[in-house]
Amino acid sequence: MSTIAAFYGGKSILITGATGFLGKVLMEKLFRTSPDLKVIYILVRPKAGQTLQQRVVQILNSKLFEKAKEVCPNVHEKIRAVYADLNQNDLAISKGDMQELLSCTNIVFHCAATVRFNDHLRHAVQLNVTATQKLLLMASQMPKLEAFIHISTAFSNCNLKHIDEVIYPCPVEPKKIIDSMEWLDDAIIDEITPKLIGDQPNTYTYTKALGEMVVQQEGGNLNVAIVRPSIVGATWQEPFPGWVDNLNGPSGLIIATGKGFLRALRATPMAVADVIPVDIVVNLTLAVGWYTAVQRPKSTLIYHCTSGNLNPCYWGKMGFQVLATFEKIPFERAFRRPNADLTSNTFTTQYWNAVSHWAPAIIYDFYLRLTGRKPRMTKLMNRLLRTVSMLEYFINRSWEWSTCNTEMLMSKLSPEDQRVFNFDVRQLNWLEYIENYVLGIKKYLLKEDMAGIPEAKQHLKRLRNIHYLFNTALFLIAWRLLMARSQMARNVWFFICPPYNL
């Protein structure tokens, strides 16, 4: 029996961000490997007209939980949704719930965060810094607490090139930032944001760095560890390959490419694509929870969960493999045939944007207008290119993360634990992973039927023919115009095709 799985048996576990991408996979793995755990408390807010219970039912009824429910048929009873809003000062947890959480919790996994790069600084601080501080305060009042695991990001210090498993100080103390957010108005915050974030690319990475400092400063007497994943992608193996349910990281751009909207990208083909499957992140996180609780390391250990140093994949290779997969598994109703021109040259990017993005969008909107429909493609293109510009920072650089603690932890695991909680990224075959990732996007995110693949292939063939026809027509028009205006062009033409009467 796995030592780690046995450790979680009988435990009361508190998870924040359990309705998110990582949180769901974490819960699933816990139920599947430790079905005898006591309870999982999840801090949830109502959303999109759904109550807490409806949200939980929807998650448990998803395909992700099918295997877990076979192993642990009473998951519904073992999950307890607690109303909470981490944006609120008191986290909006009722007194009764708070008492139960404080007296029962053994392990905390703090996953909740805003992962939006362009979030307003006030909101990002509230969620990624202040809420972390409040949870640590809560944790300090939990008599049965064995470990507090904070999920950060490998990019929290992306202003550095080489990043060690240490907490780097921020120029301004988190407490000062938290205080100032309480009295500064939005306009002033907007004005000072670029100065505060300095050489960080966005408010997300900046506030995640502040969050780590808060953990270091305020988690002093607790048994705390930090896990820093890089770009979290679809599942590699568990509970099945390719599961993904949101557009973050590469997923959104893979869809935009597969649907033929995005055909070129300002990206450095030889930059490392530090994607890490979500099940690897979850396995490491659970191993860290066990190790922190059982070994009680003297200081806060940080664990990098990255792929680049052990098994690197590059954006160029990833783009190529994504395209190769579209040949076999195309997405339905593509706007144009998928293509992936990655270039690090700004001028070339602008050229491709004009030719491959704006021109087709404008032509298509013209066609929609002509046929009495509402134009929408230029608007969509505008949003897509804005999104791409936000991600460009991460696809034009490479980072080196040291992984000493992660490797140390791997060496402490029994062979059985290494199998059940496998986080050895060296075993990952990128070509296979990317293919399953694309397939997973098609099935679980786009919810497209596999039976539609022949029709999707037909559609791409039609698009190719339209493309050839369009290019031929364009060439003929250009040539005709040239012939009409240039004696040299006429001479060349008559040289190639002399008139019959000569």
Ligand X SMILES: NC(=O)C1=CN([C@@H]2O[C@H](COP(=O)(O)OP(=O)(O)OC[C@H]3O[C@@H](n4cnc5c(N)ncnc54)[C@H](OP(=O)(O)O)[C@@H]3O)[C@@H](O)[C@H]2O)C=CC1
Strand segments, DSSP code E, in 363-449 are 400-401
383 binds ligand FFI (CB under 6 A): yes
Distance in Å, CB of 207 to ligand X, minimum: 9
> DSSP secondary-structure letter at 355?
I
- Cβ proximity to ligand X: between 226 and 342 the closer is 226
**Contact of residue 264 among ligand FFI, ligand X, none (CB under 5-8 Å per partner type):** ligand FFI
**Contact of residue 394 among ligand X, ligand FFI, none (CB under 5-8 Å per partner type):** ligand FFI
**Contact of residue 151 among ligand FFI, ligand X, none (CB under 5-8 Å per partner type):** ligand X
**Contact of residue 47 among ligand X, ligand FFI, none (CB under 5-8 Å per partner type):** ligand X
- Cβ proximity to ligand X: between 108 and 361 the closer is 108
Q: Provide the sign of the torsion angle of the four alpha carbons 246, 248, 250, 254, taken in this order.
A: positive
Tokens of 99: 């008492």
115 binds ligand FFI (CB under 6 A): yes
Distance in Å, CB of 164 to ligand FFI, minimum: 18
- Cβ proximity to ligand X: between 309 and 343 the closer is 309
250 binds ligand FFI (CB under 6 A): yes
Say how far apart CA 442 and CA 420 lie, in whole Å: 28
> DSSP secondary-structure letter at 448?
-
Strand partners, 40: 13, 79
Alpha helices by DSSP H, 184-336? 186-197, 203-218, 251-258, 278-295, 315-328
Cβ burial, residue 28 (10 Å; 0-12/13-18/19+): buried
293 binds ligand FFI (CB under 6 A): no
257 binds ligand FFI (CB under 6 A): yes
Residues 6+ apart with CB under 8 A from 322: 254, 257, 258, 340, 434, 438
Say how far apart CA 236 and CA 303 lie, in whole Å: 20
- Cβ proximity to ligand X: between 234 and 329 the closer is 234
Distance in Å, CB of 27 to ligand X, minimum: 11
Block residue for tokens 């450790």? 7
- Cβ proximity to ligand X: between 11 and 24 the closer is 24
Using CB under 6 A, pick the residue from 263, 266, 336, 442 that binds ligand FFI. Answer: 263
- Cβ proximity to ligand FFI: between 317 and 459 the closer is 317
Identify the CA nearest to 396 among candidates 196, 259, 248, 201. Answer: 201
Site residues for ligand FFI per CB under 6 A: 115-118, 153, 155, 231, 247-250, 252-254, 256-257, 262-265, 318-319, 322, 340, 342, 383, 386-387, 390-391, 394-395
